[in-house]
A and B are shown apart, each in its own frame.
Chain A
Amino acid sequence: MRMRRWMSWISLVVAISFVLAGCGGGSEGASGDGGPVTITLGGAFSSPAEKKIVEKQVAAFEKENPDIKVKLHSITDDYLREMQTLIAAKDEPDVFYLDSMPAPQFMKMGVLEPLDEYIKKNNVDLSAYETSLVEAFQWEGKTYGIPKDYSTLALFYNKKMFEEAGVKPPKTWDELRNVAKKLTKGNQKGLALHASLDRYQPFLVQNGGQVVDKQGNPTLNHPANAEALQFITDLFIKDKVADTPANLGVEWNGDAFAEEKVAMVFEGAWMIPFLKEKAPDLEYGMAELPVKEKKNSNLAFTVAYVMSKNSEHKEEAFKLLQFLTSEKGQQYVVDGGLAMPSLKSMGEKFLDKYPEREAFVKAVEYAEPYQYGEKGNERVDAFNKAAESAILKKKPAKEALDEAQKQLK
């Protein structure tokens, strides 16, 4: 019968495939005695350009250390989820990326190898790195990671629109409001801003507020926070000079800026390669964030290299970690021109090369890392919801924040 022939074909395919499967897979871990040691390096590469930087760094490292081989493990989906899975199976890379936000949990849970001993032994000078970045990876007196790079926020402004309106980049909150008013006309808004703590925090802190107090308790409804949030909300509701990307019909602030729907956004250095691709002809400038009175504040988004506690080759792993964060390693970060290098000395080199990015480097001196303790994610969620209801539902900022604070309990 025809049916049988069909089925036998399928069986044949299955049989062949299994033979292939046998050959294809499982050819791993050929590091016998005496041979080179293999270190796995795990990361979430946010662009082909970033991956290229790491590949170049690794190549340089391998050249210097012929007895150490580095295998890249690129994680493309939800990084946190995959990392937890790998850690649960004790399959995690020896050295891997860790973002500042989930870092407290990782440090507390004893997943990471404390680096203090290695730092001492290999004479790494932590004070050569931007302080706020290093602090993000310290927990109860121990250091667990060395920051690889960072970005702060800057004010991106559309030069043409500013010229037409005859205004200069705003330096204070009042100027921000006035400039935004002048830049709003027709379908064009002054400012695109999404309702989220990762943009609002600098304003809260400038106003004397805080998200988490010194004891690590959340203080979302701090009066100064409410005042700052109200100021931002008013830009949306009262003055109608700001809007969310969603309302502008775009994915994110970057799109709104690239499509010239707004004159200003607060974004990080990731905007630069984005704009180059998306709006190559757009003329724009970058300035430091406007300040309320005198107190500067900014956010530092940073990622560190950390070492797994389960690594079987810790000495070699640290060698790699040290190289990646050394001047030699960070030269590739400078050349790549994506994020800013974490070493102060390299930051200067970076500025020589990209003087227009001064605003980002200046801000790191007074920036706080994007990190809110072990329950960071929950706190950010709660704040964002408060901000959303203040803007979308026109709820008074204080009320919204009180509610958010209550939810955290």
Chain B
Amino acid sequence: MNAQPTTVGTKPAARRRRSGLFSDPLMGYLFTLPVIVSLSVFLIGPIIYAFFLSFQSFTFLDPEGAQFVGLDNYLKLFEDERFHRALFNTSIYSLGVIPVQVSIALVLALIVNSKIKGKTFFRVAYFLPTVTSTVAVSVMFLFLFKKDGLLNHFLGWFGIPARSWFDDVTFALPSIMVMAVWSTVGQFMVIYLAGLQDIPDDLYEAAQIDGANRWQQFWYITLPMLKPTTFFIVVMSIIGTFQVFDQMYVISGGDGGPLDATLTVVLYLYNKAFKDFEMGYASAIAFFLFCVILILTLIQRKFFGEEMRM
């Protein structure tokens, strides 16, 4: 059989030029006007301001005393060992979390989109971790993962010695990664679920007539049709994981301990800005991080191909 995924997947791109995407500047600006205004005033303005700060020795306590220091803040990034540690931790975190997160989300979405009994219950159940606020989730996990907590009781049955997961130099970061996957999968599941609902049923019907089995349907119809969704999820995941802050802030009590094992870039930035009063340096860290995320996103776009043209 020859269930070419391209029938629907790429056709719009070809047709787009013919009819759909005709130029309509007035409508284009009208539709985007609220967003343009809101973005410029409330985000781009402050971002530009912060960008200027990154070239200064600056603290909000004494804005008049700011000094222009050129690229010093950026150069300092190369020597700052704690920053390197933070960048390393963040990368590990991101590399570990994204693939697991995305695959589990897809599997769960497929499950709750199938014809199982108690669909609504499972949807709510899988989504529960996402609705709970980060602080509450962190508290819950501190609870479950502590030395005499539920997890260690459970592991004890298999002869695994109890340890204090979040305070262990080796296990603190992986434990937070587990927590992050647990708490964000529901969100991406819902997006995948909406994506799955958008796939017209006649595609599957046509494939069935062609004799495609379930697996082939998944591989040649579902996955290609979910491409925009997957692209979206991966990009959001990169942004989210590289900016991870809340969990570390709560669990390590703000210092990224034990021994910097949970120090992330944004946590470091935050401490520099608000505890050490080095807003200029903190801004430089922010824009460095921005560049890292931007580059990863662009690579991502290449990976997903023309489909995601911008």
Contact = CB atoms under 8 A, between A and B. Distances in A.
Given A377-B275, A407-B81, A389 B259 contact: yes
Contacts of A246: 147, 164, 166-167, 258
A121 B65 CA distance: 31
A388 B259 contact: yes
Contacts of B255: 381, 384
Interface in A351-409: 375, 377-378, 381, 384-385, 388-389, 392-393, 407
A80 B61 contact: no
A247 B167 contact: yes
Contact of A392 (B147, B259, B277): B259
Contacts of B257: 384-385, 388
A78 B270 CA distance: 11
Nearest to A105: B277
Contact of A87 (B61, B260, B270): B61
B61 A111 contact: yes
A213 to B, nearest CB: 21
B19 to A, nearest CB: 24
B5 interface: no
Chain B CB within 10 A, most for which of A247, A381, A389: A381
B149 interface: yes
A81 B59 CA distance: 12
A115 interface: no
B304 interface: no
Q: Is the interface of A mostly helix, strand, loop or mixed?
A: helix
Nearest to A248: B147
Contacts of A342: none
Given A105-B61, A109-B65, A392-B258, A249 B277 contact: no
A379 B62 CA distance: 22
Nearest to B152: A249
A87 B277 CA distance: 13
B52 interface: no
Contacts of B60: 84-85, 87-88
B210 interface: no
B77 to A, nearest CB: 16
A92 to B, nearest CB: 10
A385 B260 contact: yes
B35 interface: no
B69 interface: no
A260 B273 CA distance: 39
A15 interface: no
A251 B148 CA distance: 12
Interface in A92-140: 102, 105-106, 109-111
A244 B146 CA distance: 13
A392 B65 CA distance: 42
A111 B62 contact: yes
Q: Assign chain A's interface to a size class.
A: 20 to 34
Interface in B55-72: 59-63, 65
B154 interface: no
A88 B274 CA distance: 12
A250 interface: yes
A406 to B, nearest CB: 10
Interface string B262-274: 0000000011011
B169 interface: yes
A242 to B, nearest CB: 15
Contacts of B61: 84, 87, 105-106, 109, 111
Chain A CB within 10 A, most for which of B61, B149, B162: B61
Contacts of A249: 146-149, 162, 164
B276 interface: yes
Interface string B298-310: 0000000000000
A251 B139 CA distance: 11
A90 to B, nearest CB: 10
Interface in A230-247: 244, 246-247
Contacts of A392: 169, 258-259
A375 B142 CA distance: 31
Contacts of A88: 60, 63
A377 B274 CA distance: 10
Contact of B258 (A84, A378, A388): A388
B259 A247 contact: no
Contacts of A84: 59-61, 274, 277
A246 B142 CA distance: 11
12 contacts: A84-B59, A84-B61, A85-B60, A88-B60, A88-B63, A109-B61, A111-B62, A247-B147, A247-B164, A385-B257, A388-B258, A392-B258
Given A78-B274, A249-B147, A392-B258, 14 more contacts: A81-B270, A81-B273, A81-B274, A84-B277, A87-B61, A106-B61, A246-B147, A246-B166, A246-B258, A248-B147, A378-B276, A392-B169, A393-B259, A407-B82
Interface of B: 59-63, 65, 81-82, 142, 146-149, 162, 164, 166-167, 169, 255, 257-260, 270-271, 273-277
* CB-based closest 6 A-B pairs: A249-B147, A246-B167, A109-B61, A109-B62, A88-B60, A81-B274
